[in-house]
Homo-oligomer: A and B are copies of this chain.
Amino acid sequence: MTGGYALLVADLIGVAVFAASGASAGVAKRLDLFGVAFVGFAAALGGGILRDLVIGAAPPLAFADWRYAVTAVAASVAVFWLYPALHRVRRTVLALDAAGMGLFTVTGTLKALDAGVPEVGACLVGMLTAIGGGLTRDLLTGEIPAVLQREIYAVVALGGAVLVAVLHRFQLTGLLPLAASAALMTGVRLLALRRRWSAPVAVP
């Protein structure tokens, strides 16, 4: 019971952070209040909607539980009003975004496995849950998705998804190993940010 509540709170924090990243992109593109809220909603919940469509869970959680949509929209509207202040807390936002990535990967991979998706597919679904929101945000604001271009982000999610699948295989899906997996992903992501790691680019 308490575990489920902790998970919900963690999930909603992830939603709020991803919404803030989407809303910031919307403000930067000079979208109006509705556009900012919509891109925030899409950035926060696009990955989960994609996950639920793929695993056949209709309606997606974003539409089935009002707390998700309300959290995403509230965070977006806050960013709309507080945008200049947001730059000062940029490091905090990046850290929370890394935590959201870790958390969404864990829940996405587990939900796919529980829905009967085989392991390779479930890892892909877990990664898509984490990066789908950012992809949607960039497509809506006319950018080539950042996750495809530079940073070590999706690869961390994919590695974390594989770890979760291995834990699931050995039935180690208690709160502790899962939280440790999310924390590990968050840590690796923050290290990649700090050290400016990047994936190789081909010579065209």
Copies per assembly: 3
Interface status of A187 (Cβ within 8 A of chain B): no
On whether the beta carbons of B58 and A200 are closer than 8 Å, the reply is: no
Shortest Cβ distance from A93 into chain B, in angstroms? 16
Instruction: Given A124-B69, A199-B33, verify A144-B144 contact (CB < 8 Å).
Output: no
A154 contacts across to B, CB distance below 8 A: 34, 38
Chain-B contact segment, one of A8-16, A59-67, A97-105, A170-178: A59-67
Identify whether the interface residues of A are mostly helix, strand, loop, or mixed: helix
A201 contacts across to B, CB distance below 8 A: 30-33
Question: A117 to B124, alpha carbons, bound, how many Å?
Answer: 27
A180 contacts across to B, CB distance below 8 A: none
Interface status of A166 (Cβ within 8 A of chain B): no
A residues whose Cβ falls under 8 Å from a Cβ of B: 26-36, 38-39, 49, 53-56, 58-60, 62-66, 69-70, 80-81, 83-84, 112, 115-122, 124-125, 135, 139-145, 147-150, 154-155, 198-204
